[in-house]
Every structure is written in C-alpha cells, then in structure tokens.
Amino acid sequence: MKSFSVLVLIIALHLGYLNFTYAASQDSKAAFDALEMAQEDLQQRKLGPMSDYTLMFLQHEQNKHGDYQLARITQRNGFPVKSELLRSKGEVDKEADVNWNRFILVTMPREYTQQAKLVRETEASWYFQVPTTVQAQTDSEEIEELSHANKLLQERLVTEVSVSKLKPSFTGMRIFAPQPFSPSLLVKVTTFDVKLDFDEVSSSGPLYVSKETRQLEGHYGLFISINDWVQTTITDMQIMERQKGFNNHDEKLLP
C-alpha cells in the first residue's frame, strides 16, 4: 500500500506519559486505594532515570490471515539493537495500514498526573478511565492539520487501565473509539481498538506489555480501505542492567 501523509497512519502510544490523580468517594474508596497502591507498586518496580539497561525477549506477531513471524529482539534503553528472525510464514505486515510506535516497559510518572474515573469493576479487577495520550505523527508539514487530528484523537478515543483486586497492580490498558470518527477530511475510522496486557519481568521487576492486540478499520478517500489486525505477544523477557566495571560494559541480570 502506498504511504500517504495521513494523520492516523503512525500512532504513538505514549505510555510513559500516562498517570493520574483522583478524589476518592465514599463508595469507591477501596478501588481508589488499590489504584494508589498500584502506583506505588509501579514506582518501586521502575528502573532509575539513569539506568542503562538491555531487554531481550521473543516477539511473536500474527495477522488475521494467520501469517506470523517469531523473532528474538534485543533493545537497549528502549531502542532496537538486534532482531533475529527465527521462524515466519507469509508477511505479517504486507497489508499493514498503520505503523505503531510500541513501548515495551510500562512507566507512569507521577508528575504527569491527570484525572481518573472509576468506570466499572469485575470480580477480579477495577477499571479506570484516564486521559487519552495517543498522538498521530506524519511526514506532512501541515502542522495545523496534525494538531487538529491529535485533538480529535484525544477527544474521541477512550483510555482505560485495569487494576487487580487480588494484588493491587496494573494489569492492562485498552484504548478504543466508542463511535466512528474522522480525524481528517479524507480519513474515516470505523474501528479503533488497542488492548494491552501487562506482566512482570520478575516478582520485583518492571512491568512490560506482554500482549498487544490492535484493530483499525476505516477508509481513506472513496476507494482505499483500512483493515489492520495484528496481535503481538512477548515471552521469555529478560532485563539486564549495564554496570561500569573493569571492562566498562559488565552486565547484570536483574532479579
């Protein structure tokens, strides 16, 4: 598919800038207490701001046709260093209409707090609606058009995070559009749904996105359809902290 300067073709999920504050009500005090404990849990798990770390994991991607690829990925400080393709069938991204800027480690700094609302609960979890921080990126120089698209994305998309009742910690996130919308004159989005499952590297290690399921449907102009469904699963996650030693690049596997 030809690459268009369409405002929703590159979406950045800024997990690193998502956080929230709240005013607990009498009826929902237990839920907000759990939310605060989840924040504390995440703060204790996070790496220090000066940490020099390496992530190593297996990444399995599959599209709606059953095409897949399994790769061993190495990242350093959030940036790709090495990708080794282990197995594949077809081309997962042959019909990809969206390029995704994916975050692996979950970080929610307190200084970026916003308003959270308790929206529902199940036997296992509480769900909170938080401000949407999804942003579009484009190679177009139409800054005004991009700003308008980002404003619409943040108004039309809903972001929810889930907190476990068993052990107060963040377990996932969902970003979705309740209704179809048009971020620009030529683009119509009928389905936007991104589900993120969180897991821990270890019992005391950082949280990471262990599964991402994304679905985007719509059309560009009159004749070009957008139909994107990809599921990415990350397993065998390891994180190593680089420490300065005699050879200046010793690495230590974090517990």
Q: Give the model confidence (pLDDT) of 238-250 as tens digits.
A: 988 776 554 545 5
Gap between the Cα atoms of 170 and 37, Å rounded: 10
pLDDT above 50: residue 3: no
Look up residue 234 and give its two tokens.
């990350």
pLDDT at res. 151 = 81
Gap between the Cα atoms of 43 and 83, Å rounded: 30
pLDDT above 80: residue 97: no
| Exposed/middle/buried for residue 168 (C-beta within 10 Å: 0-12, 13-18, 19+) | buried
pTM listed for this prediction: 0.81
Gap between the Cα atoms of 99 and 227, Å rounded: 13
Residue 249, number of CB atoms within 10 A of its CB: 10
Label residue 100 by pLDDT band (50, 70, 90).
low
pLDDT tens, position by position, 11-48? 444 444 344 444 444 458 899 889 989 988 988 887 66
112: nearest Cα among 48, 35, 21, 175: 21
- The DSSP element (H or E) to which 181 belongs, if any, is none
Mean pLDDT of 250-254: 56
Residue 250, number of CB atoms within 10 A of its CB: 12
pLDDT tens, position by position, 199-232? 998 888 889 999 999 999 998 887 888 888 999 9
pLDDT above 70: residue 101: no
Residue indicated by tokens 């559009």:
177
pLDDT above 70: residue 110: no
pLDDT tens, position by position, 135-144? 766 555 566 6
56-62-64 Cα angle (round to 5): 160
Gap between the Cα atoms of 12 and 248, Å rounded: 34
Task: Name the residue ranges covered by the structural domains of the chain.
Answer: 10-241
Provide the residue count of the chain: 255
pLDDT above 70: residue 95: no
3-state DSSP assignment of residue 144:
helix
Give the rounded distance of the alpha carbon of 132 from its chain centre: 12
pLDDT tens, position by position, 144-198? 667 777 788 888 899 999 999 999 999 999 999 999 988 777 888 999 999 999 9
User: 142 vs 75, which has greater pLDDT?
Assistant: 75
Which DSSP state fits 49?
A: T
